Structure 1
Amino acid sequence: MDFRVLGPVTVRTDSGERVASGGKLWTFAALLLVHPGETVARERVIAEIWNGAPPPSAGANLRTYAMGLRRLLGSRAGRFTGHPAGYRLDVEPVEVDLCVFERHAAAGRAALPGDPATAAEHFGRALGLWRGAPLAGPRHGPVLAMTAEILDEQRLNVGEDRFAALLDLGRYEEAAGGLRRHLAGHPLRERAWVQLMTALYRQGDPAAALAAYADARAALADGLGIDPGEELRALQQVVLRRDELPSPRRALTTATVAAEPAAPRQLPRVTPFFVGRAAELAAIRSALEAVPDGPVAVAVHGPGGVGKSALVLRAAHAAAARFPDGQLYADLRGTSLTSAPVPATTVLARFLRALDVPSAEISGDPDEDAARLRSVLADRRVLIVLDNAAGAEQVTPLLPATAGCAVLITGRRPLDPLDAIVLPVNPLSEAEAVRLLAELAGTERIDAEPEAAARVVRHGDRLPLAVRVAGARLAARPEWPVAMLADRLDDDAARLDELRHGDLAVRTCLRVGYRDLAAADPVAARALRLAGAAGLSQVRAQAVAALLDDVPRVARDALERLADAQLVHAEGPDSCRMHDLVRLFAAELAAAEDGGDGDAALRRLASHYLGTAREAARCLRDDPVAEIADDWLEPDWAVPPPFAGPSEAVAWLEAERDGMVALARRLADTPDRSARLAIDLMWVLQSYLPRGGHWSDYALLAEQARRVAGRLGDRRGEILAWTILSGADQQASRFDAAAEKLNRALGLAQRTGSPTGEASVLSHLGHLYQLRGDDGRALTYYARALSRYELMKLPLQRGLLLHNIGEIHLARGDAEEAVALLDAALRLQRDCRDRLGAALTLAMLTVAYCELDRHDAAQANGTEAVRLAAETGHRQAEWLALLGRAESLLRLGRVEESREAANTALEVAARPADDYRRALATYALARTADALGRVTEARTLWDRATALRATTRTPPLPVLERLLHLPTASAR
């Protein structure tokens, strides 16, 4: 043979045999050899050689490679022709090992029903042509990569066909030995396990047959997450009952048995790197094992890179034995960046030829050929896999119409018009993604750096494609620590560049989805770009309306289109989640395409956010000190919607918190006045963010605001920023760092003559010393701040100070004085509509009244505190009130009610997670268990709480530790 592809690509030339190298000329030659006698379009050749990223000189370079191929062919150069439609290599079938392989395989399958000896000979000759991995040598583009997978699968199928012939001939020992070697390399081949069990049982070794079944079950569970199929299970029962198998077929002459057509087995090989998806595999298997009146169709959809093809091919291989008349496969290229979707007529022709319909009977008319396909499939059991579908119209002509057949379809969009079982596929869990990374990069390596591995997969949004890229990069760089790749992925600007390795690139996958979206819906494409430019992860209709400068209805339609395109994940009627990789890609597109329009869009969104956040904050606390200048806002978009009450305001703030902080970061370095967004949001959200436990967001916002305020000379903003950053340090018990920031803020306030700023810093210094346990200095600072607030007639701030002073008295054991101070604070807070302050003061009164054993008052204040805290999102107040109520109920002997309140406090402490608050809630639960006589449970809970309390850096709350009779925690 002059041309070989079943191993290293080889061409016999005038000067001898030439083995392929990695050059582009050999990629060109290999592409023509796998399409012998066919014209291959220039565009397909270019896409294959340059793997979808051709240079501007690709056309000229291709002509050079064509000349090189003619020189390589020498005296047979006339067989190679080029014309405007493409290139063609005319070869005789006997000259190409692939054609000879297919001829022997077909002859073997034709002989198998009646002449297994002849079949075994043909199968052996077919397998003897193989010299290694197919198409080795040249670099693979998409076609050669897929062809290599298909050829590998054909080789495995022919091997199993040969084993079938050996079983029919009674050569059980030979078959068993070959099958064991075969399964050692391919343990997920269910048909081969059936053959091995059959060979062993016919040899008279049922124990070995049952051991093989156990091995098969373990391999399928580990590799696919599924149980053995129906045929394997049935064979196990035969062996267990020691029933007889049907007698092997005796060799008959081909004159007495008509040759049956060969069953096509076109499934590409499955990737060895596969984790999770147990539920999805089970759903597909259940659908394929059902006995419906008509054909089964399962349509799998999900975002690019989520692993739809790998899932479906794994399921198809597992179910192949249920479809003895063959398995058909077609890549419909609906998600290809370099070629158009494959027309249904092309796929129909391929399928009909595979099912032994003569080419002369294939009309090329889609309706006629579709009807012919349905007729051919009517009495057969065939599995069809349609990969990467563009839409229902591409798939519909390829569907069978009768029971017995099944179709598995993958595509990014849900194929709504089809009568199919719809199966969405989502990213892996973090644990599954880390397992996949370990399979690719090495288990020991990943186990040694679990935190870095988790960062890597999170940066890839847990998409299998991104994890595969990361794993390939680590495998190629064994000297890299995993943390090094994680650090490189930390950089938003470089992340998509880092997620590229060889032919794998996340950006290319995203570009396909965006290209299709932009062609179908430019408005939705613009919405995606602008949302990415704003840094939004949670994308809501009103925000999109501001970006588009349009009405909410248009924004909602755009979000629906984005969800259909699998570029965002719908989470509600007006809300979608955008994964980080899509967001980064969209931001790149915006920078390239939107320019000044993008800047104006961000100003509109900033105006919408700030105007609405200001109104929401007023629903929680009407603080005149937090007023801002709004002359830089876009007036049309700064008008807030009306809020029905605090709960609705908190819901909006919770939903838009990430977006507001992200946009403030984006605008902080802009030269125009919209950079003030960080400063103004800091003022507006200074009550909501810390009370909701969002200290990381608050500190991030304050750091951006500090930079902008310093650049713009806004000393008032700088003072508040340093104060907030000090508060973040206090939450982590970094008291020295907190004091340094507060002293810097105090100096700024005194130099610039800011009485409100100075009073605020003095108040925060008092709180700092209160947390450190220095009550004397705390009261001194509080007194200085209180006198200033009284002079400025600021009752809201006075209420906050009276609360803190009352808390100190309560911690010292003077509950009566504490109640008097807290009552005075509550009156001020109610007078100035400070709902946040009132919630916390009511919670503290609950604790104080419990200390005084005035439990009716404790329960009344606690109930009101929980209600108000839940309305305003004040999680600290809600948690404190619940624990105060729990202790009061316990002292009243209402233990089950106390337990319920403590459990609710534990749930509140988990949103967001706070180990100190979880510890105290667990202590409260331990006290209820002890009161019920559950000694073991009480000890377990107490030990758990003690462990949590020992590791947390959150400053202790002495009033509550005193209430729960805990040993005093030293100030950290």
Structure 2
Amino acid sequence: MHVASAVVDEFPDGQLYVNLRGVEGPAVAAQPSDVLGEFLRALGVDGANIPVGAREREALYRTRLAGKRILVLLDNAADEAQVRPLLPGDPGCAVIVTSRSPLALDGGHPLSLDLMTEREAIDLLRNILGADRVDAEPAEALEIVRLCGLLPLAVRISGARLAQSPKWSLSRWRSGLADERRRLRKLKVGDLDARASFNLSYDHGLTKEQRRAFDLLGLIGARDFPGWVLGPLLNCGSHDADEILEAMVRAQLLEEISVDGEESRYGFHDLVRDLSREHLEARTDRASAAARLAGAYLSGVASMHKVRDPTGLSTWDDLVMCAAGAVAPEIRLSSDLPNLLDAVDMAAAHAQERCALDLARLIIPLLEVPSLWTEWASLADTGLDLARQLGDRPVQAEMCRHQGEVSIYRGYREAAIGRFTTGLRVLEGSGEARAGAVLLLRLGEALRFVGRTDEALDRMEQGKRIFIDLGDPLGEAYALVSIGGIQRVRMRWDDAVESLTGALRVLREFRHRRQTAIALVSLGDVYHLKALWTEAMECFDECRRLFHDGGDRMWTANTDRHIGIVDFLTGRWIEARSRFTAALEVFTKIGDNRKRALTLWNSGELLIAEGRREEAHACLDEALQIFESMKDRFGLALVLTTVGQLCATEYALGDDLDPQLTRGLVVAQELDHDLLIAMAKLNKAEVLLRQDHPSEAIAMARPALEISRRLGAPRWEANALTLLARAHEQAGDHTTARRLTTESSEVHRRFGLYRATEAARR
């Protein structure tokens, strides 16, 4: 009507309007012959001269329009057959046709009307209600039009209801609309009724089976869904399901949102979804439909596991094989995750607890690679509740393990220890030895992160013995990877190389690519600590390719961080800075705070070497805050030693650095970590040297040199030699100073070390 009013001057001979009532069904819809009679009378034809036959009326209608400029408005058309007899034949005339279904008319220009924008909806509400009330509560007004789904009819009804109640606040009306179960009941005023409007399309635009489909789609809580879901809901073939979906789209009750290859995704308008759920309540077959859909998702996820690279020791292999026996739809985690999570809730709500639990068990392992911690944690909590309802102790322990694993990633190490311990307690007396072994490995990893390395190694060795007793070489290999990580932290580098290379032989044999890559990261780190750059880079290059090919952003970024460390130590500072920056962006985005803190520490070391001290302080301070909040004592010790290095090289007479330097040494001694102790001692020696106490500096630095040599840590051996040479020079012992300088240069040359520490000191 608005368009017709806007172009009235272009049609000086007048306008013809009719409501065809097509949406109200065949019994009510206007017949073309009757409409032609009305139009002919409007065009000046006497009633006695109007033909009886439809064809004759059509011919006379077009004759009367010949040579005129008239606009014909056909509102609410049912289909093409209702419209075609009413189309004028003269090119000077024009027709506007409105319909809830798309029409195929020759010479027509179809236009699909979208929802209003938020601004347009607010303006409509303001026009009905008045600017003062809307502008007084702008946030509530915006939420109201959003709850109306930006649908003009719903916004008009909301405005009219508020206009009838001038003392009501917009907040009160918004609260009422927020209740999805009552929203449609509220959206009614006078002859304006949102539910009745939708039900016209439902009652007269759909067949009985199509209405059943509309009702059962109310089971889906996600905002959109793939078209294949209708097959299991109705227990019908894909061809029939596609035709039903197309019918609902034509009836404007469903929207085709996107097309990916041959698969379309669909979605309801929010208010139409409310109507679908209302109808769902009356269906007695909703539980069986929910079971079929959840089963389809279970089969689809099981099929994903059959082709994906394992991420860990699975305790659900039999479940995968069983579920994969059914017809499996193709699942895309990037688009289908909300539907998968919804399917778990749907199955649980319709007395399908076992199916819901099995689905949760299969989804959770898929969430690690894309770093979906929030979804992982939520699903593990749901799974634990379901396992408790079913009295399934092994799966309860499995869900405790998942809770602990995601807690580690999110930085909650003490919580992780508690979850793993609970899982082990649940398993007591169950005979589930393998699941217990996996929990022991995970518990060991959590203990390692809080600095309890002796306990950590003990738990891991227990797990390894269980795998050996079970005759499980793959489980033993997983244990060796964890043990190698502990040996690396405890500076037993040769033992770590032996454990990790032994694990790699088995992992490669079983083609466990992701765990192979994780083992390679640890092995490369050991080689870097030993300044074996070629061996380190061979490990890092291989594992980076494996992580990248597997789409694992977190581990790819972590490998880049390790490569950046090698770049830094060998003088490729520009490359190191680029890798640290990219890794930091990934860790920040996925919420991995520990790796973010480690990268900030690495960046701080680089910035010290580049002489950018203020930026270095900022990075190291942020890293300290993260490690302190996580109670990660090893990470704390790493950063404190670097802070000590920065403070020592900035020392000026009168500075009181003892608290800072002492704290780093104390934490290192509490951890009984010789290399960190050596680093802290070198920092103290640097300050003593700057205070003109060369003898005390020598006494402090010599144990650090002995530790570095005993551990085989060339980087810190070279640093200790350089500092001792300066101390002897300051003490007047030039011969010893020259000898130590030569030894330092030889270590730098032999291991390809860049003199970053010396550059920073200068």
Q: TM-score, normalised by structure 1?
A: 0.52
Gaps of at least 5 residues in structure 2 are 645-663, 665-762
Conserved 8 A contact 1:919-1:946 = no
Q: Amino acid of the residue matched to residue 407 of structure 1?
A: V
Deviation by residue 1:400-422 (Cα, 9 ceiling, x = unmatched):
44444443333232213443223
Instruction: Give the match for residue 586 of structure 1.
Output: 276
Q: Does 1:408 align with 2:116?
A: no
State the one-letter code of the partner of 2:250. Answer: D
Contact 1:332 1:342 in 2 (8 A): yes
How far apart are the structure 2 equivalents of 1:502 and 1:485? 20
Q: Which residue in 2 is equivalent to 1:99? A: none
After TM superposition, the structure 1 = structure 2 runs for residues 432-831 of structure 1, keeping only pairs within 5 Å, are: 442-444=133-135, 447-448=138-139, 461-466=149-154, 476=165, 482=171, 485=174, 489=178, 493-497=181-185, 503-519=191-207, 522-533=208-219, 535=221, 537-566=223-252, 567-572=254-259, 573-579=262-268, 581-593=271-283, 595-596=284-285, 598-621=286-309, 623-628=313-318, 638-641=325-328, 652-671=332-351, 674-727=352-405, 733=411, 740-750=418-428, 752-769=430-447, 778-779=456-457, 781-794=459-472, 802-803=480-481, 825-831=503-509
Deviates further, 872-881 or 426-435: 426-435
Change (3 A) 1:844 1:338: farther
- Decide whether the 8 Å contact of 1:563 with 1:570 is kept in 2: no
Cα distance in structure 2, aligned partners of 1:485 and 1:538: 25
Q: 1:769 to 1:536 in 2, by over 3 A?
A: same
Contact 1:811–1:962 (CA<8 Å) still a contact in 2?
Answer: no
Displacement of 1:676: 0.3
Q: State the alpha-carbon separation in 2 of the partners of residues 883 and 531 from structure 1.
A: 47
3-state SS in 2 of match to 1:719:
helix
- Amino acid aligned to 1:830: R
1:397 aligns with 2:85: yes
Which residue pairs with 1:837 in the alignment? 515
Q: Distance in 1 between matches of 2:14 and 2:642?
A: 72
CA offsets 1:347-392 (integer angstroms, 9 cap, x no match): 4444444455555554364444444444444444444443332222
SS in structure 1 at match of 2:385: helix
Alpha-carbon distance in structure 2 between the residues aligned to 1:819 and 1:807: 10
Q: Residue 713 of structure 1: CA displacement?
A: 1.4
Q: Evaluate the alpha carbon distance shift between residue 425 and residue 889 of structure 1 in structure 2; reply closer, same or farther with a 3 A threshold.
A: farther
Q: Deviations over 1:831-873 (max 9, x none)?
A: 3343443455556777777888877777766665566446545
TM-score between both structures, scaled by the size of structure 2: 0.65
Tell me the CA shift for residue 896 of structure 1: 9.3
Displacement of 1:437 in angstroms is 6.9
- Please give the secondary structure, in 2, of the residue aligned with 1:577: strand
Residue 585 of structure 1 aligns to a residue in which SS? Answer: helix
Q: Cα–Cα, structure 1 residues 669 and 368, in superposed 2: closer, same or farther, change >3 Å?
A: same
Which amino acid letter does the alignment assign opposite residue 242 of structure 2? R
Q: 1:914 to 1:401 in 2, by over 3 A?
A: farther
The change in CA–CA distance for 1:732 and 1:581 in structure 2 (over 3 A counts) is farther
Quickly say closer, same or farther: Cα 1:382–1:722, change in 2 above 3 A.
farther
CA distance in 2, matches of 1:560, 1:378: 39
Instruction: Look up the SS of the partner of 1:387 in the other structure.
Output: strand
Match for residue 747 of structure 2?
Answer: none
Paired amino acid for 1:531: L
Kindly tell me: are residues 530 and 395 of structure 1, through their superposed partners in 2, closer, same or farther at Cα, counting changes over 3 Å?
Answer: same
Shift of 1:769: 4.7
The C-alpha deviation readout for 1:604-625, integer Å capped at 9, x for no partner, is: 3333322332232232245552
For 2:156 and 2:5, locate their aligned partners in 1 and report how far apart those are by CA, in whole Å.
22
**Superposition pairs for residues 152-171 of structure 1, below 5 Å?**
none
Residues 206-245 of structure 1: pairs in structure 2 closer than 5 A: none
Aligned CA distance change for structure 1 residues 629 and 918 (closer, same or farther; 3 Å):
closer
**Aligned residue among 410, 419, 424 for 2:107:** 419
Q: What are the residue-to-residue correspondences of 1:269-280 with 2, within 5 Å?
A: none
Query: What is the CA-CA distance between 1:907 and the residue it aligns to?
Result: 8.2
Length, aligned pairs only: 626
Deviations 1:432-489 (A, max 9, x none): 7678778878554554569xx56x6666555454555566667758666749846973
Q: Offset at 1:513?
A: 2.8
Contact 2:294 2:356 survives alignment (8 Å):
no
In the TM superposition, what whole-angstrom CA distance separates every residue of 1:785-840 from its partner, at most 9, and x where no partner exists? 44444444555555555555666777899998877665555544433343443455
Q: 1:372 to 1:639 in 2, by over 3 A?
A: same
State the Cα distance separating 1:688 from its structure 2 match: 0.6
Give RMSD over aligned pairs: 5.5
Kept in 2, the 8 Å contact 1:449–1:483? The answer is: no
Please say if residues 417 and 447 of structure 2, whose CA atoms lie closer than 8 Å, have aligned partners that are also in contact: no
Structure 1 residues 436 and 723 mapped into 2: Cα distance closer, same or farther (>3 Å)?
A: farther
Q: 2:98 is matched by which residue type in structure 1? A: T
Structure 2 partner of 1:82: none
Equivalent residues of 1:678, 1:702 under 8 A apart: no
Structure 2 distance, partners of 1:338, 1:657, is 42
**What is the CA–CA distance in structure 2 between the aligned matches of 1:440 and 1:432, rounded to whole Å?**
13
What is the distance in 2 between the residues matched to 1:321 and 1:439? 26
- Matched to 1:577, the amino acid is Y
* 1:772-921 paired onto structure 2 within 5 Å: 778-779=456-457, 781-794=459-472, 802-803=480-481, 825-838=503-516, 840=518, 865=543, 868-869=546-547, 872-881=550-559, 914=591
Partner deviation per Cα, 1:229-270 (whole Å, 9 max, x = no partner): xxxxxxxxxxxxxxxxxxxxxxxxxxxxxxxxxxxxxx3xxx
- Deviation of residue 754 (structure 1)? 3.7
CA contact (8 A) 1:810 1:959 kept: no
Residue 562 of structure 1: how far off its partner (Å): 3.2
Q: How far off its partner does 1:626 sit?
A: 1.5
- In the alignment, the residues of structure 1 paired with residue 631 and residue 150 of structure 2 have an alpha-carbon distance, to the nearest angstrom, of 35
Provide the secondary structure at the position in 1 that maps to 2:18.
strand
Question: Alignment partner of 2:368: what SS?
Answer: helix
Distance 2:493 2:116 in 1: 53
Cα distance, 1:577–1:546 mapped onto 2, change above 3 Å: same
- Please say if residues 902 and 921 of structure 1, whose CA atoms lie closer than 8 Å, have aligned partners that are also in contact: no
Q: Which moved more, 1:821-830 or 1:885-894?
A: 885-894
Unaligned runs of 5+ in 1: 1-266, 268-312, 643-648
Distance 2:472 2:464 in 1: 10
TM-aligned CA deviation for residue 665 of structure 1: 1.4
Question: Is the Cα–Cα contact under 8 Å of residues 299 and 328 in structure 2 kept in the other structure?
Answer: no
Is the contact between residue 564 and residue 575 of structure 2 (CA under 8 Å) also seen in structure 1?
Answer: no
